[in-house]
Structure 1
Amino acid sequence: MDRREIAALLAYIGRLDHRLVRTSEREAADQLAQWYELLGDVPMATPHGWDARVAARAHIRTSPYQILPADVARPWESYRRDRLARHSDPTPSVDPDDQAAWTAELAGARRAVAAGVAQPAQARAITSGRSGIDPGLESRLREIGSCIPPAARAALAPYRPARAAREAAVAQGKPDALGVRCGWCLAQPGEPCRRRRIGPDNGVRGTAILATPHPSRLDLATAQQDEQAQQPAMA
């Protein structure tokens, strides 16, 4: 608030509580200077729910004590905290490689929300089905076939041989061995098979990840695939 808004606020409060009225010109000037010093960064009103007059009126209605600048500043700080707590930072529209612009846009959005100029951005809920997929993203996924581009998938293949072998088998129409539990090494679905390292005392010293699943696991996946293929035919 500027000095004119502070004066208007004091005049409004004076009509509701005569204890705040100052008859001396010097006392009125001192009162105006004090309130401006303490409330200069508090707006009179914002487009989204804040009004200093409402906060002052609420205090006068509920408290027997004479109103102070803190009785206006406190609700304003609560208003700011509440709005920031409900705000989820939207993804900036600038180039993410431009860190300065990225940070500046995030900070600017937060300041606008805290100041009551903009509404808090709510986090988008997860929707069921395909209705919530962005059309541009959906067309891009159809184009490349996966959220991981083929070039990146090929570059990662040497570092995850078990997954690469699984993807290659599925692409060729073969059964997904990692889709079932291994009865030999007890690997859970989605986990690669492991080879046990046995010590001289026949105790297990450790395990090593295998690039290919155990034959019994592959047989189980094949049987499961054949069973699923027969079900539509029987229906």
Structure 2
Amino acid sequence: MDRREIAALLAYIGRLDPRTIRTDQGEARDQLAQWHELLGDVPMATPHGWDVRVAARQHIRTSPYQILPADLARPWESYRRDRLARHSDPTPSVDPDDQAAWTAELVGTRRAVAAGTAQPAQARAITSGRDGVDPKLEARLREIGSCIPPAARAALAPYRPARAVREAAVAQGLPDALSVRCEWCLAQPGEPCRRRRIGPDGGARGTAPRATPHPGRLDLAAAQQAQRTEQAQQPALA
């Protein structure tokens, strides 16, 4: 605030609390100089929620003590900290190779947010559900059937044989063996079966992953698939 704004603020405060009024010309001049020195960097109002008159009125309403410049500087600093805490630096529009311009734009944006002349830039939240899917991405997924293109999936097949066998079985309508727990090697759902080597003492010496699931796991998956199919048909028959 400049000296004229400080004078207007003191006149406003004087109407609410006559104790701040200085009738002597010299005292009034000293008071104006003191408040301007302490509140020169505090704006009268900003486009986004700050008004020094509101802070002054709030103090006079809730405190029995005469208002001081610090009683207005503290709310202003809280206002600045709150806005900067809610601000997430957006990517500058300048060339990232120009370090000076990049830094200058970041600093300028932060200062504008702290001064109340710009709104804090909020980080985009992670959305869930179908509402958050980009229509272009959804159309692309329908086109290729998966987020992994078929060519890339075929190239990765030699490096993940268990997954390749699982995908081939599901594509042919066969039961997904990895959807159930293996009772033989105790592999959990989603994990490939393992080949256990038993030592002379009866303990397991190795658990190398298998490219194909154990037959018992296939039978259990087929039984569960048949049970789900039967349960799905019962309401239709009813």
Q: TM-score range by the shorter chain?
A: 0.7 to 0.9
Kept in 2: contact 1:192–1:209 (CA 8 A): yes
Residue 6 of structure 2 corresponds to residue 6 of structure 1? yes
Residue 180 (structure 1) aligns with: 180
Residue 47 of structure 2 corresponds to residue 42 of structure 1? no
Residue 219 (structure 2) aligns with: 219
Kept in 1: contact 2:87–2:120 (CA 8 A): no
Residue 140 (structure 1) aligns with: 140
Q: Aligned to 1:75, what secondary structure does the other structure show?
A: helix
Residue 119 (structure 2) aligns with: 118
Between the aligned partners of 1:170 and 1:91, the Cα distance in structure 2 is: 44
What displacement does 1:203 show? 2.7
Residue 74 (structure 1) aligns with: 74
What displacement does 1:93 show? 8.9
The answer to which of 146-155 and 177-186 deviates more is 146-155
The answer to which of 33-42 and 133-142 deviates more is 33-42
AA at the equivalent of 1:188: Q
Q: Aligned to 1:136, what secondary structure does the other structure show?
A: helix
Distance 1:139 1:184, change over 3 A: same
Percent identity at matched positions? 74
The answer to which of 198-207 and 178-187 deviates more is 198-207
Mark the runs of 5 or more structure 2 residues left unpaired by the alignment.
none
The answer to which of 213-222 and 103-112 deviates more is 103-112
TM-score normalised over the length of structure 2: 0.72
Q: Aligned to 1:221, what secondary structure does the other structure show?
A: helix
Distance 1:142 1:62, change over 3 A: same
Kept in 2: contact 1:84–1:110 (CA 8 A): yes
AA at the equivalent of 1:144: I
State the Cα RMSD in Å.
3.9
What displacement does 1:54 show? 0.5
The equivalences for 1:96-107 within 5 A come to: none
Q: Aligned to 2:191, what secondary structure does the other structure show?
A: coil
Distance 1:93 1:218, change over 3 A: farther
What displacement does 1:94 show? 6.2
Q: Aligned to 1:195, what secondary structure does the other structure show?
A: strand
The equivalences for 1:196-211 within 5 A come to: 196-205=196-205, 207-211=207-211
What displacement does 1:53 show? 0.6
Larger radius of gyration: 2
What displacement does 1:113 show? 4.8
Between the aligned partners of 2:151 and 2:102, the Cα distance in structure 1 is: 28
Distance 1:33 1:154, change over 3 A: farther
What displacement does 1:60 show? 1.1
Between the aligned partners of 1:115 and 1:161, the Cα distance in structure 2 is: 59
Between the aligned partners of 1:68 and 1:193, the Cα distance in structure 2 is: 75
TM-score normalised over the length of structure 1: 0.73
The equivalences for 1:150-161 within 5 A come to: 150=150, 153-154=153-154, 156-157=156-157, 159-161=159-161
Distance 1:88 1:66, change over 3 A: closer
